Amino acid sequence: METTASSTADESPLVLLVQPLFPEFAAALAGRYRFVLAADADPAAAAEARVLLVPGLAPVTAQHLARLPALELVVGTSAGVDHVDLDTCRNRGLSVTNAGPAFAVDSADYAVGLVVAVLRRVAAADAYVRRGRWAADGDYPLATKVSGKRVGIVGLGNIGSRVARRLAAFGCAVSYHSRSPKPSSPYTFVPALLDLAAGSDVLVLSCALTDETKHMVNREVMEALGKDGVLVNVGRGGLVDEPELVRCLRDGVLGGAGLDVYANEPAVPPELFGMDNVVLSDHRAVVTPESMRGVLEVITANLDAFFSGRPLVSPVQLCTLNKR
* Position among 66, 129, 227, 308 found at the interface with other proteins (CB under 8 A): 129
* Alpha carbon distance 262, 271 (integer Å): 14
Q: What burial class does residue 253 get, using C-beta atoms within 10 Å of its C-beta: 0-12 exposed, 13-18 middle, 19+ buried?
A: middle
Peptide bond before 266: cis, by omega within 30 degrees of 0?
A: yes
Active-site annotation holds for 283: yes
Q: Is 116 in the site for other proteins (CB under 8 A)?
A: yes
* Torsions phi, psi for 95 (to 5 deg): -95, 145
Residue 275 CB, shortest distance to other proteins, in Å, is 10
Q: Is 263 in the site for other proteins (CB under 8 A)?
A: no
Q: Is 261 in the site for other proteins (CB under 8 A)?
A: no
Q: Is 139 in the site for other proteins (CB under 8 A)?
A: yes
Inter-residue contact 209 to 321 (CB < 8 Å) = no
* Position among 39, 62, 66, 148 found at the interface with other proteins (CB under 8 A): 148
Residue nearer to other proteins on the CB measure, 126 or 212: 126
In a 13 Å sphere around the CA of 182, the CA atoms on its Cβ side amount to 18
Write the single-letter amino acid at 80: G
Q: Is 103 in the site for other proteins (CB under 8 A)?
A: no
Name the active-site residue from 24, 265, 271, 290. Answer: 265
Count Cβ atoms below 10 Å from residue 50 Cβ, excluding itself.
17
Q: Which stretch binds other proteins (CB under 8 A): 39-47, 64-72, 285-293, 314-322?
A: 285-293
* Alpha carbon distance 143, 145 (integer Å): 7
The DSSP element (H or E) to which 50 belongs, if any, is none
Residue nearer to other proteins on the CB measure, 211 or 282: 282
For residue 2, the SS3 value is: coil
Q: Is 202 in the site for other proteins (CB under 8 A)?
A: no
Active-site annotation holds for 212: no
Phi-psi label, residue 151: left if phi above 0, alpha if psi -120 to 50, beta otherwise: beta
Active-site annotation holds for 236: yes
Spatial CB neighbours of 70, under 8 Å, sequence gap ≥ 6:
5, 47, 48, 49, 50
Q: Which stretch binds other proteins (CB under 8 A): 78-86, 126-134, 183-191, 238-246?
A: 126-134
* Alpha carbon distance 22, 145 (integer Å): 41
The residue among 59, 28, 23, 18 whose CA lies nearest residue 296 is: 28
| Interaction residues for other proteins, span 55-94 (CB under 8 A) | 56-57
Q: Which stretch binds other proteins (CB under 8 A): 131-139, 183-191, 197-205, 229-237?
A: 131-139
* Position among 25, 33, 128, 176 found at the interface with other proteins (CB under 8 A): 128
Residue 199 CB, shortest distance to other proteins, in Å, is 19
Q: Is 150 in the site for other proteins (CB under 8 A)?
A: no
Judged by CB under 8 A, the number of residues near other proteins is: 57
Chain positions contacting other proteins, by CB under 8 A:
56-57, 105-106, 108-110, 112-114, 116-117, 120-123, 125-130, 132, 134-135, 138-140, 142-148, 165-166, 168-171, 265-266, 268, 273, 279-284, 287-292
